[in-house]
Amino acid sequence: MGRVETSLLAALKADPGLRRRAAEALERDGGRAPLTLRKAGVEPDLAAAALTLAELRGRARAKFGERAERLYFTRAGLEQATRWPVAVRRAARFAAAADRVTDLCCGLGTEALAFAEAGLEVEAVDMDEATAAYARANAEAMGLPVAVRVGDALQADLAEAAFADPARRSGGTRNFNPADYSPPLDGLLEHLAKARFAAVKLGPGVGHEWIPGGAEAEWVSVDRDVVEACLWLGEAAQVPRRASVCKAGEWHELTGSGEERAEVGEVAAYLYEPDGAVIRAGLVAELAEGLEAHTASERIAYLYGDELRETPFARAWKVEEVWPLHPKKLKALLAEREIGRLTIKQRGTGIDPAALRRQLKPKGPNEATLVATRVGEAHVAILCREA
């Protein structure tokens, strides 16, 4: 982004009528909306910017709710922006420990807004002037006192508390290796060590080898979607591993060492599929203990128990039958039971569920779930129904 982007942002801020007309044209005219605005005398670049903002605000509702209608977005910024409930929860943890926070790599500034709403004094830093302009615009739109400046995250002075959300995209593609973040994670961790209380947001697929000694590694899921990982550093670290699960608007936490292993046994009456945050945090054993459950293979994260226990950390199925994983036999067994609506899940077998479905050709009025997995070293198919 550059001066053109900044000037278009300034024009959009100054003309709420244009923002409204763009949203109405996009909803009413769809693909013809650009022509609608140009016929009304709007310059092409400004019309495109207004329509892009309207589109992004629509997409942003899933992350920000009604706030999305007041905020300014770029495509890349919205992609990386933290979901509002997650940002609010993190801000509360910062506010309980500090009065001031430095928000490095602030992007559109949405995390800074959550910090400010939590009562923290916020200085937000981004290396790109146009991006910083969006952060200022969003603070102004929400009426929050966020100081935004342009600067290098690795050179910025830090308050007693600091947060960073390094860029994980470049050239239109996502970077999965933290060494390729901007700035790289190792340099960022070294800099954040200067703050008393710190955290850095990462992609949910980050490997455990990137977790520094003494840090708390948290994985976060919202309605079964693992959305991020976060490293808590310095005084912010409370436990080695944490899985934080938001289900129907309520937060639940599971903590542990991340080093325990669940007991191994046979398939039981109920099958549990742990939430992705639990699996990524390495807390399957801690969940198994709470459910009085076990695995059937030490390398597979399905759990089995004799009794159904409610938990926000896993989905549960009632096991009905266990069969060998032979497609021809499975096809006949499913046909006998007239199962046509079939959900296929797999873990540890290497089977492609879509390819298996084509082989099974399920038909009939009944519904079930088929789980392809391992019991010990054997490949099995477990027929079950959600409990």
97-101, 161-165, 203-207: which range is least confident on average? 203-207
- Main-chain phi, psi angles of 338, to 5 degrees: 50, 50
Domain that holds residue 11: 3-62
User: 172: pLDDT confidence band, cut at 50, 70 and 90?
Assistant: low
Check whether residue 156 and residue 242 sit in a common domain.
yes
Residue 262 within any structural domain of the chain: no
Segment 29-49 shows an average pLDDT of 93
Residues 233 and 94 in one domain: yes
Question: Mean pLDDT over all residues of the chain?
Answer: 95
164 in any annotated domain:
yes
| Confidence check: pLDDT of 228 > 90 | yes
279-329 pLDDT per residue, tens = 999 999 999 999 999 999 998 999 999 999 999 999 999 999 999 999 999
Domain ends where: 223, 254, 285? 254
- Residue 3 pLDDT: 60
What strands lie across the sheet with 146-150, from one edge to the other? 146-150, 121-126, 100-104, 161-164, 197-202, 225-234, 216-222, 241-247, 250-256
Residue 97 sits in the same domain as residue 229: yes
The total number of structural domains that make up the chain: 2
| Helix-, strand-, coil-residue percentages of the chain, each rounded to 5 | 40, 30, 35
Check whether residue 102 and residue 58 sit in a common domain: no
Give the whole-angstrom CA distance, residue 64 versus residue 108. 13
Q: Which helix (H) or strand (E) holds 102?
A: strand 100-104
Q: Do the domain assignments include residue 300?
A: no
Tell me if 278 sits within 8 A of 313, measured CB to CB. Answer: yes
24 & 116 share domain:
no
Supply 166's token pair.
Answer: 């390094």
Neighbours of 139 (CB within 10 A): 22
The predicted model gives 181-195 an average pLDDT of: 96
| 17, 135: one domain | no
Please give the pLDDT value at position 265: 96
Q: Measured at the alpha carbon of residue 309, what is the angle toward residues 305 and 311, in degrees to the nearest 5?
A: 115
User: Quick one: which of 119, 168, 169, 172 has its CA closest to 146?
Assistant: 119
Q: Span 261-280, mean pLDDT?
A: 97
Kindly report, residue by residue over 117-165, the tens digit of the pLDDT.
999 999 999 999 999 999 999 999 999 999 999 999 999 999 999 999 9
What local confidence, expressed as pLDDT, does residue 4 receive? 55
Give me the percent of the chain exceeding a pLDDT of 90. Answer: 94
Residues 247 and 114 in one domain: yes
Q: What is the number of alpha carbons within 13 Å of residue 219 lying toward its C-beta?
A: 26
Whether residue 22 sits in one domain with residue 99 = no
Whether 135 contacts 108, CB under 8 Å:
yes
What per-residue confidence (pLDDT) applies to 7?
84
Q: Are residues 84 and 53 in the same domain?
A: no
Is 196 among the domain residues? yes
Element housing 3 (H / E)? helix 3-14
Let me know: does 210 contact 178? Beta carbons within 8 Å: yes
pLDDT above 70 covers what percent of the chain?
97
